[in-house]
Amino acid sequence: MPVSMQALTDDLAAESAELRALLAPLDEAGWCRPTPAAGWSVLDQVTHLAHFDEIAVQSAVEPDAFRAELARIEEAGGIDPDTVAGRYRSMTGTEVLAWFDAARARLIQAFRGLDPALRVPWFGPAMSAASSLTARIMETWAHGQDIADAVGVARRPTDRLRHVAHIGVGARAFSYAVNGREVPTAPVRVELIAPSGAVWTWGPEDATDRVTGPALDFCLAVTQRRHRDDTALQITGPVAREWMALAQAFAGPPGPGRRPGEFTEARA
């Protein structure tokens, strides 16, 4: 079935609306509330999304300008998300929410009409426009999880998690590369139960290394929003266990992830 940019932008719009519902009631103290990402407030999480939304639009509609900026960034030592976050800490929550709304609207408008197979440059290998948009869905959901944790809200999972899970599976080789390791030749079978009750699968059925369980838990693990030990995932085989110890769906250097029991302790 061909990829539909209309369907992807609709899912991104829905994910954006859910995030916005968390943000709209916040006062300035709420925007300054720390999140589980060390050193990052709610405001930092949202400026990160808005900043990279604008860069994603540039990569799609002005690829030469993006490449020139990327060369400048790489010459300066590469991109540092903490440095990016620091640029915007003088903004108010109201200003950041308006920026996020505008940047997200431009992103959706720009990508809705693109050929899903169009190759767009990014930090690392170029990707298809469809993959770039899927990555924005993943980022929105993952940073939204940090914000939900910060404000004490349990979000209802939806089948939009398929986008996050798909990137998590597809990023297996990247997870090894970013940790300086060789990817094992043995395949891994992934079987996840969607929020709707559907079963999502990746990898050969006869693979002995397997990851099975709730799609939500897999997505939390591969975006490093929960430690794998704090999920209901069943991880079978040494290759699967090694992968899930490294799994990283997002670009950039290896993340520190979350401590085992971190959220159980917070609730206690």
DSSP summary character for residue 121: E
| Both structure tokens of 242 | 């090694």
Domain 162-267 bears CATH identifier 3.30.360: no
Whole-number pLDDT of residue 268: 36
User: pLDDT of 92-121, one tens digit each?
Assistant: 999 999 999 999 999 999 999 999 999 999
CA distance 50 to 114: 20
- CATH 1.20.120.450 location in the chain: 5-155
Q: One-letter amino acid identity for 151?
A: V
> Quick one: tokens of 70?
């990327």
> Using CA atoms, how far apart are residues 176 and 237, in angstroms rounded to an integer?
17
Q: pLDDT at residue 255 above 90?
A: no
What are the pLDDT digits (tens) for 43-63? 999 999 999 999 999 999 999
- Residue range(s) of every CATH 3.30.1050 domain in the chain: 162-267
Q: What fold does the segment set 5-155 form as a domain?
A: Four Helix Bundle (Hemerythrin (Met), subunit A) (1.20.120)
Per-residue pLDDT at 123: 87
The pTM score is: 0.94
- pLDDT tens column, 147-157: 999 999 999 99
In this predicted structure, the answer to whether residue 2 has a pLDDT above a threshold of 90 is no
> What integer pLDDT is reported at residue 211 of this predicted model?
98
Confidence of residue 1 (pLDDT cuts 50, 70, 90): low
